[in-house]
């Protein structure tokens, strides 16, 4: 099975859990649809506005189980600071 990929790039690590669930607020930056031979290919770049309600997957699928509450809080704080910094640069 093939899953879409979310690539997050920035100045600081987000310290997200190894697996889990989250609500991601985003804005579509670009979309491309192509036909390669007889296969359709779709690409979409999105700007992540926030990552909310992060919850560690506790089903036992994590290779290194530990508490991610503080890491998640720190990750969301870093993302919020990054967003505020980019908005200030635009002004």
Write down the mean pLDDT value for the chain.
77
Q: Which residues fall within 8 angstroms of residue 83, CB to CB, at 6 or more apart?
A: 49, 50
Asked if pLDDT for residue 88 goes beyond 80, the answer is no
> Taking the C-alpha atoms of 64, 78, 30 and 41 in order, what is their torsion angle to the nearest 10 degrees?
0
**Predicted structure pTM score:** 0.49
pLDDT given at position 64: 42
24-63 confidence digits (pLDDT tens) = 888 999 999 999 899 888 888 888 888 888 888 887 644 4
**3-state percent helix, strand, coil for the chain, nearest multiple of 5:** 25, 40, 35
pLDDT given at position 63: 44
Asked if pLDDT for residue 66 goes beyond 60, the answer is no
Residue with tokens 């290194």: 64
Nearest one of 58, 55, 53 to 23, comparing CA atoms: 53
């Amino acid at each position: 099975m093939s899953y879409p990929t979310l690539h997050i790039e920035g100045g600081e690590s987000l310290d997200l859990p190894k697996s889990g669930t989250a609500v991601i607020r985003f804005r579509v930056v670009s979309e491309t649809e192509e036909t390669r031979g007889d296969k359709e290919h779709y690409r979409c770049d999105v700007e992540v506005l926030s990552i909310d309600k992060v919850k560690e997957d506790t089903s036992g699928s994590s290779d290194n189980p530990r508490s991610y509450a503080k890491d998640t809080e720190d990750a969301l704080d870093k993302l919020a600071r990054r967003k505020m910094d980019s908005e200030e640069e635009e002004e």
